[in-house]
A and B are shown apart, each in its own frame.
Chain A
Amino acid sequence: MFNKPATCFRVEKGYDQMTMIDTDTSGVPARILQSPMHWRNAKHQSHWRSGDEEFDAAKFGMWLFLSTEVLLFAGIFCGYAVFRMLYPEAWANGSHALDWRMGAANTAILLFSSWTAANAVRLAQLDKQFWFKINILITILCAIAFVGIKFTFEYGIKLPEGKAPGTFFAYPYATDPHEPLWWSLYYIGTGIHAFHVIIGAFLFAFVLWRAHRYQAYGPTQYTLVENSALYWHIVDLIWIFLFPLLYLIH
């Protein structure tokens, strides 16, 4: 069954490429190759007819979850729209208090990490284990950089100035009584988003550990990689809208 030569592997540009099961495993230690966690030894759950069906169902479930994530942030966007309509002055003041350079840097970081996450899926499908792990690692580092910039150069500067949410607001040079509302919405929106970034980083860390320890992901077994990447992309998508709404529109 596994004795067929690797020539059946077609590399084609575009779509509908057959992924293969007969990869070159020379050089992989037997300890990893014979592990039940290794992607070649992993079997789909017995209540599925095939791994394909299991994969499709998992991915569909992930999309359902992502739609609830969008609805979660839709509440924040709706609050933004309503209060912007009611208190445009406070919103303009609040937007001017944010540093667009930090927002732009974080946008670039998230877009780049989205690309590395998409790369990781492709490299897992092609069984390029080393570069797969490198891309996952870059994604995690980008997540750390994002959260670091957010906490150090945004929250860490604004909170001591008194630009705090709701009743904690104590900025002495505010000109509009509704500015605490803006800061509430800013901290809730970006805070929940940063929390998602941290969750995504932990997901990728789990993927990286399993990939490093067992080579758990390969052409026939990459469900968690795919779903983690989907999660990461939706986090990116939400930031794509949060960035102009908070930093650029005034």
Chain B
Amino acid sequence: MSQDTTNASNDLGWDPTDPHGINPHDDAHEGHFVADWKMQISVLVILLAFTVLTVGFYNLEQWMETAFEITLPKWINIVGAMTIATIKAILVAAFFMQLKYDKALNTFVMLFCLFCVALFLGFSMIDLGSRHLVDPERAPSIVPGGTGVGLNAASADKDFSLILSPKVNTGGSNIVLYARLHGSKEKPGLLYYREKGDEASFWKKFYSGHAAGRDTLDEHNFYEQLGFATHDATSDANASHPRHGLTPGLFSDVDPAASSSADSQAESQDDGH
């Protein structure tokens, strides 16, 4: 077999006379890109120049701020630094990682990955930036200068100077339930209605939302008294009846299967099984 015979010399993409590649010339990696050293070193110089540029821009900005009290808008700092970083990243990917000369599939994999990253970051930002449109109290809060609460707190562990954030102490319950009960400055929580109204109306309001945490808080089992434990109502097209709590009879002493076994046996005999 001559040296010119390669697996790419026919339309099949492989050599029918040598299907398992016994011929060592198939390993020759013919056509693989070998980078030019001049290109590589010029890419390195450009990358280092961009690094000097972005660091210089940062220092120029700091100097202007301290010497002349000129404060540039924040976005200039961010956009400038990230643009330079993106250019550097493209240079590294295209020339050092040889995406420019490689199969398009590899570029596609990376671009699809970056698309996913954009979705990930984008939707997170949209979520955070639009919560106040749904519920004003859920707007991300910014305290200028900070509250300083965390720093004055006593150390919980002397060995590690452990400082727990004491801003909200939920007493061990989950934060969602805590917020529903205690509310905020703008919107009173459910405990406010408990003070004003009777116990039953409070629990009615409580269970008309979610039944989270009912086992720990509902001492008198208003859940069942107010009829929330029934599973009679089924949802239809016009009304939705959410089902709360456990499956009926799951933890009761009487085994529903055992008590109704006689009936079911009778039914099954009627069915002829």
Contact = CB atoms under 8 A, between A and B. Distances in A.
Interface in A204-250: 219-221, 229-230, 233-234, 236-237, 240-241, 243-245, 247-250
A6 interface: no
Contact of B81 (A51, A56, A248): A248
A7 interface: no
Nearest to B37: A122
Contact of B28 (A167, A220, A250): A220
B165 A177 contact: yes
Nearest to A122: B35
A167 B112 contact: no
A240 B128 contact: no
Contacts of A21: 24-25, 27-28
Contact of B105 (A13, A60, A66, A245): A60
Interface stretch (A24-32, A105-113, A185-193): A105-113
A180 B40 contact: no
Q: How large is the interface on B (under 10, 10 to 19, 20 to 34, 35 or more residues)?
A: 35 or more
A86 B113 CA distance: 27
A155 interface: no
Q: How large is the interface on A (under 10, 10 to 19, 20 to 34, 35 or more residues)?
A: 35 or more
A49 B19 contact: yes
Contact of B97 (A108, A230, A240): A230
Contacts of A85: 125, 128-129, 140
A71 to B, nearest CB: 6
A152 interface: no
Nearest to B30: A18
Contacts of B177: none
25 contacts: A1-B24, A16-B33, A19-B30, A21-B24, A21-B28, A52-B30, A70-B117, A71-B113, A71-B116, A74-B116, A81-B121, A86-B140, A86-B142, A87-B142, A115-B96, A125-B29, A125-B34, A230-B97, A234-B97, A237-B89, A240-B89, A241-B85, A244-B82, A248-B54, A250-B77
Interface of A: 1, 4, 8, 13-21, 43-44, 46, 48-52, 55-56, 59-60, 63-64, 66-68, 70-71, 74-75, 77-78, 81-82, 85-90, 100, 104, 107-108, 111-112, 114-115, 117-119, 121-122, 125-126, 162, 167-170, 174-178, 180, 219-221, 229-230, 233-234, 236-237, 240-241, 243-245, 247-250
